[in-house]
Structure 1
Amino acid sequence: MSAHRRDARISRRGLLGLAALVALPAAGIGCSALKSDDVATGTGKSTASGQVPVSEPSSAAPTPEPFANADPEQKLGGTVPFVPGKALFGSYLGLDGMEYAEALALRKKQLGRSQRIVHLFYAWRDDLPSSVPYLPKGSIPMVSWRGTKHETILSSEADEYIAASARRLKALDQPVMLRWGWEMNGDWYAWGGFKNAQNAAGYVECYQKLWKIFDQEGADNVSWVWSPNWNNSPNEPWNRMEAYYPGDEYVDWVGVSGYNLHKEDPATLFDPVYQKYSPVKPLIITEIGSVDRGGTSKADWITDFAGYVEQRPAIGGVVWFDTDTHPSYPERWRIDTDAASTAAYKAMARSPRFSG
């Protein structure tokens, strides 16, 4: 999926990064066709997640033992600790006509609780936040920071900018999740292997370099989220998601983007990542939403997803893509498109499993 998202401002200043949208008709195409790498900063908008229909994986595979191969010396989740049996619950909010603070207030009123994760998007050359004034008490910002071409990072021309970005997140003086260069196994972003001579190793080098610069700057409040798309596009050996994995030392959470666009069930979207990485890392669903096909279809899918998370103990966070400001795709991803969907979402948000 790709989108302009309506800006969520702090003091009337755009906080998110702009990703320009390729103007294509939405009917009959997968959302990956709407991806674009063009970026203009300072306008308060961003891009969403891609979807590529593929054959469904088997959901009958045995669920691996969570963290069986994890390094006992590493704290699960880093500065945003994983809590067994609990999932942090949050969203990206982009609601038509509302500032981010107003959207947070609406969802708190509807759900009877605050967001534990507030998802924010930034372009590569944006200033990362040194404060988020509207952040609810006890909430954690998850910063999705766009990448750039590998050579820009590896040539060292961006070293000081990266260091300054580290200092800004350090100044937050609270735990923050950093999701840099997401969906790198898709063919739609400048930092993916597809747009860098089919070189997945270059992405790994970039990720590790950013991590080391942040470490040198003392930004030890950052919890690092490595977040592929749920499937690979193109689906070729060089583009396997595991080829982009930076290594256990550099990853605190494994994230994944996945949307119910083509009637995918939760196991189809998320089990490939869960099977690979739950033995070593906690997982967070970093972008998720569901198409409404009439009746109770959307509510039923939300309920099914909640049940899926109940059965996957290594999932420690879920971040919904809760927006209706996606102009070039007909689906409105906000959760309150009908009463049944709102009720299903509320039931999930208020369940013990999502009380992290």
Structure 2
Amino acid sequence: MTAGQRRRDESVSRRGLLGLAGLGVASAAGAFGMWKAASREAPVTVSGTPTAPPASAAPTPAPFADKGPWKLGGSVPYVAGKAMLGSYLSLDRMSYPDAVELRRKQLGRDQRITHVFYAWPDRLPTKIEGMPKKSVPMVSWRGPRYEKILSGDSDDLIAAAGRRIRDLDRPVLLRWGWEMNGRWYEWSGFQNGQDPAGYVKCFKHIRKIFDAEGADNVSWVWSPNWNSAPPDEWNRMDAYYPGDKYVDWVGVSGYNLNQESPATLFDPVYRKYSNRKPIMLTEVAAKDHGGTSKEDWIKDFSAYVEQRPAIGGVVWFDTDTHDAYTEHWRIDTRPESAAAFKAMAASPRFSA
């Protein structure tokens, strides 16, 4: 989020963290036992857009560029024409397993991505209690200031994190240092001497250590905010891009806090990267602006994803425990919004 579209609290509260050490995941060897073989398959052909059509128009389809011997999406592969639908799920006065069961009953399906947050010094997960068996974890890992990484002082911490993720022995989406093009996090370029190149060096350094630890079950998610703050030339989002060799999915955060349309929020990233990488909407939710606005936005969002085939994942910010906002991002603040979300979840487009 931008300064006007972000959490007022600069930290992630413990109340809002699902990714706590010691939570439990059932073994997924049956569901995910083929991920290592799949990661070596030839790339698939999907559609993206190299051009910039008007915001109201669906982008012109074009094939992804040839990416060599690895599969699009890495260990969490992109599925042509389909999108995984998941969430960060935290509901007031409910345990995570109970919240998962509630959504299962309401939607008639499980989430395909389980989004959890961790602080930089936290031990990354080996288990997540209550996660649906066929769900893919997406670990959003906070960063420190660049010097703590580039000095080498954090190498042991990073290596230990890589071993823990490796030992999950299942595909994992790792989203390190998200929204780096905003001013609100300590790993942003703004808070590190206006130095996007420093972020790129950190991202590459972390990935190289994970690779050295054998954490080849990781799909690396690079995830800027939908627009940059400050909106200066030095802070443009592509200045933070580590390069195709280091990124498996391009993510983006966007919320309709000021009644922005889905195209306004997500087309800048879609146009720039969808001809190179699969796209994941890593944080998205709808604010109720009165009347039928929330369910209307969900319907518009569903249609938007239908029109953009390179979107391979959507992760809703499904919570009412976020201390920094009075808005309840959860999908069921109104029966009508819950019904709109259920209809979207039932669409074949979200059947990955």
Report the TM-score range of the alignment, normalised by the length of the smaller protein.
0.7 to 0.9
Unaligned runs of 5+ in 1: 3-28, 48-56
Q: How does 1:221-300 map to 2 (within 5 A)?
A: 221-300=217-296
Conservation of the 8 A alpha-carbon contact between 2:16 and 2:321: no
2:1 is aligned with 1:30: no
Aligned residue pairs total 318
Distance 2:196 2:57 in 1: 27
Provide the residue aligned with 2:16 in structure 1. Answer: 45
Change (3 A) 1:273 1:141: same
Change (3 A) 1:203 1:117: same
Provide the residue aligned with 1:171 in structure 2. Answer: 167
Provide the residue aligned with 2:23 in structure 1. Answer: none
Distance 1:240 1:35 in 2: 24
Q: TM-score, normalised by structure 2?
A: 0.87
Conservation of the 8 A alpha-carbon contact between 1:35 and 1:188: no
Conservation of the 8 A alpha-carbon contact between 1:291 and 1:298: yes
Q: Percent identity of the aligned residues? A: 61
Q: Deviation at 1:168?
A: 0.4
Conservation of the 8 A alpha-carbon contact between 1:35 and 1:189: no
Provide the residue aligned with 2:207 in structure 1. Answer: 211
Provide the residue aligned with 1:24 in structure 2. Answer: none
Q: Deviation at 1:34?
A: 1.3
Q: How does 1:1-356 map to 2 (within 5 A)?
A: 30-32=4-6, 34-36=8-10, 38=11, 43-46=14-17, 58-60=54-56, 63-356=59-352
Distance 1:168 1:68 in 2: 33
What residue identity is the alignment partner of 2:224? P
Change (3 A) 1:66 1:320: farther
What residue identity is the alignment partner of 2:76? V
Conservation of the 8 A alpha-carbon contact between 1:257 and 1:287: yes
Distance 2:12 2:350 in 1: 35
Q: Secondary structure at the match of 1:31?
A: coil
Distance 1:95 1:279 in 2: 37
Change (3 A) 1:148 1:307: same
Change (3 A) 1:158 1:329: same
Q: Deviation at 1:67?
A: 4.3
Distance 1:211 1:95 in 2: 33
Provide the residue aligned with 1:25 in structure 2. Answer: none
Distance 1:60 1:285 in 2: 18
Q: Deviation at 1:31?
A: 3.4
Conservation of the 8 A alpha-carbon contact between 1:66 and 1:314: no
Change (3 A) 1:156 1:257: same
Distance 1:305 1:62 in 2: 13
**Cα RMSD (Å):** 1.9
Change (3 A) 1:94 1:62: closer
Distance 1:74 1:213 in 2: 19
Distance 2:245 2:63 in 1: 14
Distance 1:155 1:300 in 2: 49
Provide the residue aligned with 1:21 in structure 2. Answer: none
Q: Secondary structure at the match of 2:226?
A: coil
Conservation of the 8 A alpha-carbon contact between 2:64 and 2:277: no
Unaligned runs of 5+ in 2: 19-52
